[in-house]
């Protein structure tokens, strides 16, 4: 007997009395008892795999379970490779940050946005600095104006206690990654 995954039942682990059976070549056999389905799978030298557990009766297929696991693992790896993970990058500034330093932070945020990440600008106010929240608001608006060509403002500058925060979303501008360049070259050859 083949060792099985926890989410897929095979052979004698199937609990239903009757199953909708699909043959080894993909043909519809119909609704049969579990015993008949197991006998047909044994006769073909293959496994009986429950592929549709939610259906009534459950859908089972006669197939090679090892091959099924391999193909499913391959599909999951392919989906994971295509998945884009968006991270939240945080950039800290102060209301009294110098102009050049502010432009360096904006340039760094621009790179994060072009890679497809979200960016959070954070401005902390210590002690009595909270009275300069208006100046902080002006600095944040200037940053927002500088980034509007590559980002959309997800949430405008807003006070959260002693912190002024604003969030940006990428407009979908993405740099080509080295892996994508290699794939393009392979296709041309």
- Residues with Cβ within 8 Å of 2's Cβ and at least 6 positions away in sequence, in order, are 10, 11, 47, 65, 66
Say yes or no to pLDDT of 167 above 90. yes
Say yes or no to pLDDT of 108 above 70. yes
Residues 93, 166, single domain; the answer is: yes
- Evaluate whether residue 184 is within a structural domain: no
Q: What is the mean pLDDT of the chain?
A: 82
Residues 100, 69, single domain; the answer is: no
Q: Specify whether the CB–CB gap between 166 and 140 falls below 8 A.
A: yes
Q: Specify whether the CB–CB gap between 124 and 163 falls below 8 A.
A: yes
Residues 69, 40, single domain; the answer is: yes
- Pinpoint the alpha helices (H) of 34-177: 34-44, 65-82, 99-114, 133-147
- Evaluate whether residue 176 is within a structural domain: no
Consecutive H or E run containing 182: helix 178-188
Residues 18, 67, single domain; the answer is: yes
Domain count, the chain: 2
Final residue of a structural domain among 53, 75, 97 = 75
- Secondary structure letter of residue 129 according to DSSP: G
- Residues with Cβ within 8 Å of 86's Cβ and at least 6 positions away in sequence, in order, are 116, 117, 118, 170
Looking at per-residue confidence, does 15 or 4 come out higher? 15
Q: For position 13, what pLDDT does the model report?
A: 81
Evaluate the CA torsion angle 100, 102, 103, 107 in order and state its sign.
positive
Rounded Cα gap, residues 18 and 35, in angstroms: 9
CATH of residue 63's domain is 3.10.20.80
- Evaluate whether residue 23 is within a structural domain: yes
Residues 70, 118, single domain; the answer is: no
């Amino acid at each position: 007997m083949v060792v099985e995954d926890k989410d897929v039942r095979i052979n004698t682990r199937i609990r239903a009395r009757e199953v909708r059976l699909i043959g080894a070549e993909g043909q519809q056999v119909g609704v049969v008892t579990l015993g008949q389905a197991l006998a047909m799978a044994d006769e073909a030298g293959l496994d009986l795999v429950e592929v549709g557990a939610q259906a009534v009766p459950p859908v089972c297929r006669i197939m090679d379970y090892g091959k099924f696991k391999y193909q499913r693992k391959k599909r999951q790896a392919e989906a994971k490779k295509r998945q884009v993970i968006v991270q939240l990058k945080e950039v800290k500034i102060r209301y009294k940050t110098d102009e050049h330093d502010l432009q360096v932070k904006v340039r760094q945020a621009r790179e994060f946005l072009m890679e497809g990440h979200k960016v959070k600008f954070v401005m902390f106010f210590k002690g009595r600095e909270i009275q300069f929240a208006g100046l902080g608001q002006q600095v944040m608006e200037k940053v927002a104006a500088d980034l509007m060509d590559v980002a959309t403002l997800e949430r405008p500058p807003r006070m959260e206690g002693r912190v002024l925060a604003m969030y940006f979303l990428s407009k979908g501008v993405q740099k080509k990654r080295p892996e994508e360049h290699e794939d393009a070259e392979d296709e041309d050859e």
